[in-house]
Amino acid sequence: MKLQSAIQFASAAVALAALIVIGPSAIAADSIDPAADAKAFQKYFTDKFPRLELKDFVNGPYSMNEDMRRQWQEKEEFPPYEFSLEAGKEMFSTPFRNGKTYADCFPNGGIGIRQDYPYFDGKEGKVVTLELALNRCREANGEAPISYVKDDMAALTAYMAFTSRGKPFDIKIPNDPRALEAFEDGKRYFYTRRGQLNFSCASCHVQNPGERIRAEILAPALGILNAMPIYRSEWGGMGTISRRFVTCNIQTRGVPLEPQSDEYRNLEYYLSYVSNGLPISGPGARP
Amino acid sequence: MSVFQNKVSVLALSSALLIAALSPAQAASEVDFKTAYAAAEAANKEAGRLRDQWTTTQAALDAANKAADAGNFDQAVASAKEAEALARASILQATSEKDAWKALEIR
């Protein structure tokens, strides 16, 4: 009996010791640590493409091989987004009916601030994207909101991105459990398989960047939003981040969510944060 | 039960199944369609609650409605059942992905 008790005691002690050793790392695996996530995310891509400079990831598929890069350099001589950029500049400076402009709604008059969006609004307890802020600006000034997926929104964000070109993404996650949960929710959305084709965002943009899906070369997730909005030859026009998310969902045969739904806002927060340090290159052009 | 009785029973059952299989199926009615459609719609609604509806489910529901409008209830029931199967698959996907997504995560 004494022997049995001794064995039981020893087993319990071993189990307790194992819990002490394993416990913290198991908890850490489930805790929300955006900085560690961003570090691991960037390392994954720089390990996968060791010849690519970090800043080059913002060029998406054009960074993936020499032919594509040459195509991009030639496109940039007469960029297809130029008309949108001009339209955006004009819209941005045209006063609303009350005499105010978009500049009145943003820090620094809206110039050179793209890299700070999206941000977490502590008052609202939610993520605010640039597209959302632009429509809120319109509504606050008595104007009707514009479509998140059409040309006007693309033009406005193209102009604002252009004024931030070269500035590194600087997304902040405040020490607020709601902000951390928003980041985690965005990550969950990014990795969750959906649609009849059972694809997650990561299926294409983490597991297969540089590979072809039909005629297209898949872009890496790292830096994927830095070039937004983009002119896509496939679309025959400009597209916002909202349009990108919606079409990605449809391509997997999933019903897209409403543009600027909480999930999409959080996804943008996650994807932007893990690309912190990479320069804004928008507006961009893609095949 | 004797071996002979057993054989007769098996033969009778087999014959009944064969007759049932070879008999033309009864044509579906509007009530059958409405029942099948309601089940599919409920499953798709649940998928919506889980934020994981599929475009193909909606397409099958639309096809069911179109067939019913044309009075083709066999096709309408078949499409509604397909829609329900797709919706149930999307629910299964959403449920299993609640934790499965973590396996893809870069750490």
* pLDDT tens-digit map of A101-120: 999 999 999 999 999 999 99
The pLDDT score that the predictor gives to residue A126 is 98
Q: What is the pLDDT of residue A9?
A: 43
Say if B55 is an interface residue toward chain A (CB within 8 Å): yes
- Residue extents of the structural domains in chain B: 28-98
Judged by CB atoms closer than 8 Å, whether chains meet at B55 and A202 is answered as no
Q: What does the DSSP assignment read for B16-50?
A: HHHHHHHSPPPPP-HHHHHHHHHHHHHHHHHHHHT
The interface predicted TM-score of the complex, written ipTM, equals 0.83
Cβ–Cβ below 8 Å for A255 and B107: no
A191: contact with B, CB 8 A cutoff: yes
Sorted by where each starts, the structural domains of chain A and their CATH numbers stand as: 2-79+175-286 (1.10.760.10), 82-162 (1.10.760.10)
* Number of A–B residue contacts, CB under 8 Å: 53
Which run of H or of E encompasses A42? Answer: helix A34-48
Give me the amino acid identity at B59.
Answer: A
Residue A277's nearest CA partner among A128, A115, A159, A51 is A115
Cβ-defined contact of B106 to A41 (cutoff 8 Å): yes
Give me the pLDDT at residue B7, please: 54
Q: Is A248 a catalytic residue?
A: yes
B63–chain A nearest CA distance, Å: 17
User: Nearest C-alpha of chain A: how many angstroms from B52?
Assistant: 6
pLDDT-derived band at B9 (thresholds 50, 70, 90) equals low
Question: Cβ contact (<8 Å) for B53 and A255?
Answer: yes
A211, amino acid identity: E
Nearest to B93 among A44, A193, A255 (CB): A193
pLDDT at A188 over 60: yes
Contacts of B56 (CB under 8 A, 6+ apart): A196, A253, B86
Would you give the distance in Å from CA A78 to the centre of its chain?
27
Average pLDDT of span A253-276: 98
Pick the residue from chain A with its C-alpha nearest to B105: A191
Q: Label residue A38 exposed, middle or buried (CB < 10 Å: 0-12, 13-18, 19+).
A: buried
Q: Mean pLDDT check: name the lowest of A51-65, A193-207, B3-17, B43-57.
A: B3-17
Interface test with A, best of B49, B52, B55, B98 (most A CBs within 10 A): B55
CA distances from B74 to B28, B30, B42, B69, B87 (A): 5, 9, 20, 12, 20
Q: Which of A188, A253, A257 sits opposite B54 (nearest CB)?
A: A253
User: CB neighbours (10 Å) of residue A140?
Assistant: 13
Share of chain B above pLDDT 90, in %: 73
CA distance linking residue A264 with residue A274, whole number of Å: 15
The pair of three-digit structure tokens given for residue A48, joined into one six-digit string: 């996968």
Q: What is the pLDDT of residues B23-67, one digit of tens each?
A: 546 799 999 999 999 999 999 999 999 999 999 999 999 999 999
Name the percent of chain B in helix, strand, coil, to the closest 5. 80, 0, 20
Q: What angle do CA A259, A261, A266 make, to 5 degrees?
A: 110
Q: How far apart are CA A269 and CA A256, in angstroms?
A: 18
SS percent in chain A: helix, strand, coil, step 5: 55, 10, 40
